[in-house]
Structure 1
Amino acid sequence: MSLTTVVQWMSEQRQLGQAIALVLDSEDERETRQQLLRSCDYERYCGVYHQTPVSELADAGPFIFIIEPREYAVLDTLLAEPQRHWGWLASLPQQQLPALTRHWRERIITGTRPNQALYRFHDNRVLARALAFMPEDARPGYLGPVTSVCYWAQSRWDVTHNPAPGEHPVPDQPAWLNVPAPPLLAIDILHTNIYRYLWAERSDEMLTLSQHRAPDEWLAEQLTQARHWNWNTPEQLHFLVLHRLETLERPLIKNWSPRDHETPQAHFERLLSEVQFWAGETPL
C-alpha cells in the first residue's frame, strides 16, 4: 500500500467523526515533538511516561498528539520518511486522549522486578509485528480505545481495525508479549530496554561508568558477550549486566570465561555461586 493509503484512511476516519492521533517516538523525533508542542493546546497531547514509575524517562518517552489540519505539514514530513520509524497513527473517538494514555501507561512495564522491561508500543515495528501475529480477538486488549491504526510495516503502509474499541483490562497473559521478534529487532529492543532501566534504577553507577566509557557502547559489549555465551534468560542477563556495572572499579570475578565443555547454565550458576561466596551469602 502506498502513501495514498494513509491519506484515504485519514479522510475516512475524519468522516466517521474520529480524532487522528500521532503516537510519536519523542527520543528520536525531538524537533517534531517541539513543533507540535508549540502548535497543540494542552488538551491535545500527553507524555505517556509522566505519572508512571518511569517518569524520569518522560522527556525521552513517547508522546501522543491529537492532530488537527494545521499540523498536517508536520505530519507530511513524517509520512514522507517512514523508514525513520517515528511511530504510528491511530483514530479514536473525540475526547478519548486521556483514556488512550491511561491504556498504554498500564502496559508499558512488563515483567516483575528485577526483570522488568519497557514495552516499546510506540515503535511501528513492534506494533506491526504484534498485530501480524496476535489473533483478532486479542486486538481490543492491545489497542484499547483506538478504532483503527495506520502504520509502516516493513515496506508498505498498512491498516488494522479494532473489532471492539473501548477500555479493557490488561490480560493475565498478553498476546503481544508472546510475539516472536526478528533477531536484529529483538537485540535492538533488548538493548534499549536495559539501557533505559539502568539510567532509571542505577543512575549513580551509570554516571560513574560515563566518566570512563560511553555507557551505550559498554552495554552493547555486555549483550554481545551474553550472546557469545548463549546467556539468553532474563536472570543471566540481569546478573551479567548489573554485576559488571556494580563492580566496575573492583571486580570480584577475575575470569568470566566458561570452562571446557561447560554448558551455558552451568557456566552461569558457577559464576553466580562465586559472587554469592564473595558476598558472604553461600559457601563456594
Structure 2
Amino acid sequence: MINTLPRQWMNEQRRLGHELCLVLDSQNERDTRQLLVKSSGHDHYLSVYNATTLANLADAGPFIFTLEQSGNRRLDDLLDHPERNWGWLASVERGALRGLVHHWQQRLIVETRPYQALYRFHDNRVLSRALKHLPPEEYPAFLGPAISVCYWDGAAWNTAQNPAPGTYPVPDKPLWLRTPLPHPQASEIRRLNAHRYLLAEHVEAYANLAEEHDPDAWLRERLALADTWGWLEPEQLEFLLIQSLQAPGFALPPEWEVRGDESPVEHFERVRQLVGFWRGKGPI
C-alpha cells in the first residue's frame, strides 16, 4: 500500500504549479537511480557532486531528479519503503533544478577542522533532524529554492514549508550544523572525522603513534578526555590532538590537568600559554 501523505503532498504541489524534485541517495539506491536516469531527459536530473571538488565521488553521491506526472509509478517502491532512508522530496519553481543543486553544492563541506566532513543533506534523517531543531526563520537559508519538502522522519511522513524560498549565501555559522545528534552517532562521527583529520594533516606522527599504541583506542581516549575537560570547540580538540601526538610517549604532562574550579575556557587558555612558554613563545 502506497503511503497517502506524500501522494497528497505531490498532488497539492502540482496543483499550485510547482515542479517536483526527488533528492536521491545514489550510493544506496543505485538501481533506482539507473532506472530514473534511463527514463529521464538529460535536463531532468543532475549529480550534486559533479563540477565540485567532490567530482570523483559523483557516481556515489546524491542525484536530484525532476519528476514528471507520468513518472509517478517509478516512486512506488521508494514510497513503500521509507525505512530505506533513500532521500526526500521537494517542490520548486519550474526550471529551478540547477538552482536547487547549486544551493546544496555550496553546503556540502563542513569546513571546520578537525570535524571537516561531508554534509549528508540528501539523508532524510539529517533533513528531519535539522528541521526539527531549526526555527522557521532559519528555513530559507537551509532549504533555499525549495518551496516545500516531504520526508520520512523515521516514524512517519512529514512536510515542511519554506516561508521565503530563494537564493541565499551560506551563513558564517549555519545553525543546521549545530543540530544535536544522538550521542552514540555524534561520538562515532567525531571519532571518524578526527581520524581522517590526523591522517590528512599529521600522518607521520600518527604513524609513529601506531608503532606503540592502538590508534583507535588512543583516539577514543583522547576524545573522552576532551569531553571530561569540556574542550568541545574545534580549536580546543585540534590543540589537544596535536599536542598529544607531539608529547613524549604520546602522553600529556601532569601540568595539563584541571586546577580547582577552572572553567573549560580558563583551563584551555592556561594550558595554551603553558605550551607557548615551553616553546619560548611567550610569558607565563
TM-score normalised over the length of structure 2: 0.70
Identity of matched residues, %: 44
Q: For residues 275 and 53 of structure 1, what CA distance do their matches in structure 2 show?
A: 36
Counterpart of 2:33? Answer: 36
1:230-269, aligned counterparts within 5 Å?
230-243=230-243, 251=250, 253=252, 258=257, 261=260, 263=262, 264-265=264-265, 268-269=268-269
The worse-fitting range, judged by mean Cα deviation, of 124-133 and 264-273 is 264-273
1:195-206, aligned counterparts within 5 Å?
201-202=200-201, 204=203
- CA deviation vs aligned residue, 1:14-34 (integer Å, no higher than 9, x gap): 4444433232344xxx24135
- 1:23·1:89 contact (CA, 8 Å) conserved in 2? yes
Give 1 or 2 for the bigger CA radius of gyration: 2
Q: Tell whether 2:85 aligns with 1:85.
A: yes
Q: For residues 145 and 152 of structure 1, what CA distance do their matches in structure 2 show?
A: 20
1:251 counterpart letter in structure 2: F
Paired residue secondary structure (1:168): coil
1:59-78, aligned counterparts within 5 Å?
61-67=61-67, 72-73=73-74, 75-78=75-78
Counterpart of 2:4? Answer: 4
1:122 counterpart letter in structure 2: H
Counterpart of 1:102? Answer: 102
1:1-284, aligned counterparts within 5 Å?
3-26=3-26, 30-33=27-30, 35-37=32-34, 39-40=36-37, 41-53=41-53, 58=58, 61-67=61-67, 72-73=73-74, 75-110=75-110, 118-171=118-171, 174-177=174-177, 179-184=179-184, 186-187=186-187, 190-191=190-191, 194=194, 201-202=200-201, 204=203, 208=207, 220=220, 222-243=222-243, 251=250, 253=252, 258=257, 261=260, 263=262, 264-265=264-265, 268-269=268-269, 272=272, 276=276, 281=281
- Structure 2 stretches lacking a partner, 5+ long: none
2:168 counterpart letter in structure 1: H
1:94 counterpart letter in structure 2: R
- CA deviation vs aligned residue, 1:190-244 (integer Å, no higher than 9, x gap): 4565566566x44956995998899877755543342233321221222234555
Deviation at 1:118, TM superposition (A): 4.4
Q: For residues 189 and 197 of structure 1, what CA distance do their matches in structure 2 show?
A: 12
- Structure 1 stretches lacking a partner, 5+ long: none
Paired residue secondary structure (1:239): helix
- 2:6·2:150 contact (CA, 8 Å) conserved in 1? yes
Paired residue secondary structure (2:4): helix
1:36 counterpart letter in structure 2: R
2:131 counterpart letter in structure 1: L
- 2:91·2:149 contact (CA, 8 Å) conserved in 1? yes
137 and 233 in structure 1: CA distance in 2 versus 1, 3 angstrom threshold: closer
Deviation at 1:152, TM superposition (A): 1.7
Q: For residues 23 and 218 of structure 1, what CA distance do their matches in structure 2 show?
A: 39
Deviation at 1:158, TM superposition (A): 0.3
- 2:24·2:33 contact (CA, 8 Å) conserved in 1? no
Paired residue secondary structure (2:94): coil
TM-score normalised over the length of structure 1: 0.70
Deviation at 1:160, TM superposition (A): 1.0
The worse-fitting range, judged by mean Cα deviation, of 210-219 and 100-109 is 210-219
1:8 counterpart letter in structure 2: Q
2:158 counterpart letter in structure 1: D
